[in-house]
């Protein structure tokens, strides 16, 4: 295998890109949470992994139950549970388990929001938040809710409750929640697997790549949502 040799200018450019990406990652709320979660995993995850693996064939179901509870009750930060899954099961397996569990948890939160909306129709339907979201998701419009799930820095669990209180069809929501969570779930699952394998170089490169992709989405999320909202209101 040939070794990549960088010129002095190339090394300087690479160092500059890494520095910028690290600074961007640290500046993102989700990035800071991921870094804190990685530190936590390095110290505590081995014992947690043994506890989960001890359930044998039921280990994936136990992990998925934790993921569902994380969405519905939010007792555990999503970044932590996502990274732990990759640490325990590996990247692709954790991605599949998390996608199923997070989608199921989102559906439960959605129906929880619908139940609350039906129990307190006056207070919920007269609120400004309800009017704004219900107007944006009328019919089969899916673009804006999908982007809200994809964009980093937006609490997906709370969003599931809010959309449940709207008139959105639950089948459309299921597709949006399942697809919209894929990018973040994929990143966290493979980061956890890289921590388990002590692949620190791969973790750094993967994290930098994710930061480069997600940073513009985070910083311009309000502007893009406002643009889409204004376009819909004109219709």
Q: What is the pLDDT along the chain (235 residues), one digit of tens a residue?
A: 444 454 555 554 445 444 455 545 444 454 555 555 556 555 677 788 888 899 999 999 999 998 898 888 864 556 678 888 999 999 999 999 999 999 999 999 999 989 988 887 766 666 666 666 666 666 556 778 888 888 876 788 888 988 888 888 899 999 999 999 999 899 889 988 988 888 888 887 777 777 777 767 666 666 766 665 555 555 5
**Is residue 173 in some structural domain?**
yes
Domain residue limits at 226 = 56-234
**Is residue 106 in some structural domain?**
yes
**Is residue 130 in some structural domain?**
yes
What is the model's pTM? Answer: 0.75
**Is residue 46 in some structural domain?**
no
Type and span of the H or E element at 225 = helix 221-234
Type and span of the H or E element at 143 = helix 143-150
**Is residue 39 in some structural domain?**
no
Phi, psi of 16, rounded to the nearest 5 degrees: -65, -45
Tally the domains of the chain.
Answer: 1
**Is residue 199 in some structural domain?**
yes
**Is residue 197 in some structural domain?**
yes
Type and span of the H or E element at 53 = helix 29-53
Residues 6+ apart with CB under 8 A from 232: 135, 136, 141, 144
User: Phi/psi class of residue 90: alpha, beta or left (left: φ > 0; alpha: ψ in -120 to 50)?
Assistant: left
**Is residue 16 in some structural domain?**
no
Residues 6+ apart with CB under 8 A from 23: none
């Amino acid at each position: 295998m040939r070794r990549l040799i960088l010129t002095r200018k190339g090394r300087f450019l690479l160092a500059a890109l890494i520095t910028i990406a690290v600074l961007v990652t640290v500046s993102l709320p989700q990035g800071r949470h991921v870094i804190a979660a990685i530190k936590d995993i390095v110290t505590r995850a081995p014992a947690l992994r043994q506890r989960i693996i001890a359930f044998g064939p039921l280990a994936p179901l136990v992990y998925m139950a934790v993921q569902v509870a994380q969405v519905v009750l939010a007792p555990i930060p999503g970044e932590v549970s996502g990274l732990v899954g990759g640490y325990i099961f590996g990247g692709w397996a954790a991605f599949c388990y998390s996608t199923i569990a997070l989608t199921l948890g989102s559906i439960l939160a959605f129906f929880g929001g619908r139940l609350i909306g039906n129990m307190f129709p006056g207070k919920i339907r007269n609120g400004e938040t309800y009017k704004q979201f219900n107007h944006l998701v009328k019919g089969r419009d899916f673009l804006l809710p999908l982007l809200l799930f994809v964009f980093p820095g937006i609490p997906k669990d709370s969003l599931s409750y809010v959309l449940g209180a709207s008139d959105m069809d639950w089948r459309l929501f299921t597709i949006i929640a399942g697809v919209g969570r894929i990018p973040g779930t994929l990143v966290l699952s493979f980061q956890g697997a890289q921590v388990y394998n002590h692949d620190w170089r791969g973790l750094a490169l993967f994290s930098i790549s994710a930061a480069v992709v997600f940073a513009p989405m985070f910083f311009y999320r309000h502007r893009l949502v406002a643009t889409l909202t204004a376009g819909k209101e004109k219709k």
